[in-house]
Amino acid sequence: MRKILILSGIAIVASCFNNKTAFVGTVNFEKIEVSKKSSEFIPDSTYEVSAAYYNPTDAPLYLKDSILKNTRLLFASWFDVKGTFDLNTSVKKHFDEYRRQIEENKLPGHTAFILDISPEEVYQNEHIISFAYNWMIYEGGAHPNSGKFCFVLDKNTGNKVNYRSLTEGHETEFLNIAETEFRTQSGIKADEKIYDIYWFKDGKFHLTDNYTFTSEGLVFCYNPYEIAPYSFGLIQLTLPYEKVEKLIQWP
């Protein structure tokens, strides 16, 4: 026996036999954005933050908590995000510390801190919800660092979904398709050694755990220095759904 419950526009399927619930709705979001520049307060200083993230507005509590917990992992690289996640407060605290050190001559006045974090469109289906954030940080030196931060969650549990669990039992076939696509998208011929160009561990092609879903397919994102020099930039491998969908076992 099953009942459909509607809570604040969220559809939930409840089983009377096991007393468990399964979320089958669509999560909506509000985009939270923060922008701050020190030049407005401290002449000749370079503190610039432009950051945004998607805050779920109507997800079940377990899923909302998981989304924000995983989002915090990105922002925790630069800000204090303990407790309630409030990006405005976190950036302000970080800026106040920067300003204090400048004013007390603990940092050179020209010390740079430039950070840009921008989310891509959230992808979701009835099984998973997927996030991707592009980030760039410059703290002096020859060039900024940049990359993409991704995570995929099971809608029914809020747990992270590793691509291996989606392809269990089809790992070899999935990996072979991925390597073929990588060669095609990188312009590497079948008789060329892929490992002479890219830094794959032990000379074997592998997929990164940093992946996301898009409308085109699964996208695996190798950040700079992960498998190639910085000059290669972000390397993205897209596996079209029509080539791998039959191998995917949804959670």
According to the model, what pLDDT value does residue 1 have?
33
Please tell me what DSSP assigns to residue 68. Answer: H
3-state class (DSSP) for residue 95: helix
CATH of the domain at 199: 3.90.640.20
According to the model, what pLDDT value does residue 44 have?
72
According to the model, what pLDDT value does residue 21 have?
60
Average pLDDT over residues 30-59: 89
Question: Are residues 97 and 189 part of one domain?
Answer: no
CB of 65 closer than 8 Å to CB of 85? no
* Predicted model pTM: 0.87
Question: Are residues 176 and 128 part of one domain?
Answer: no
List the single range of 31-40, 144-153, 169-178, 238-247 with lowest mean pLDDT.
31-40
Question: Are residues 119 and 60 part of one domain?
Answer: yes
The average confidence (pLDDT) of the chain is 87
DSSP string, 119-165: EPPPEE-SSEEEEEEEEEEE-SSSS-EEEEEEEEEETTT--B--HHH
Q: Is the pLDDT of residue 70 over 50?
A: yes
Which of 110, 76, 71 lies closest to 91, judged by CA? 76
pLDDT digits (tens, 9 = 90+) for 72-94: 999 999 999 888 889 999 999 99
Instruction: Name the more confident of 23 and 242.
Output: 242
Boundary of a domain, candidates 102, 132, 154: 154
Question: Are residues 234 and 172 part of one domain?
Answer: yes
Average pLDDT over residues 147-171: 96
Which of 70, 116, 79 lies closest to 210, judged by CA? 70
Boundary of a domain, candidates 99, 119, 154: 154
Q: Is the pLDDT of residue 13 over 50?
A: no
Helix (H) or strand (E) holding 115: strand 112-119
Question: Are residues 212 and 118 part of one domain?
Answer: no
* 9 found inside a domain: no
Q: Is the pLDDT of residue 160 over 50?
A: yes
List the single range of 6-10, 24-28, 39-43, 177-181 with lowest mean pLDDT.
6-10
CA–CA distances in Å: residue 151 to residues 2, 88, 100, 219? 31, 23, 35, 11
- Number of domains making up the chain: 2
Question: Are residues 81 and 31 part of one domain?
Answer: yes
* 88 found inside a domain: yes
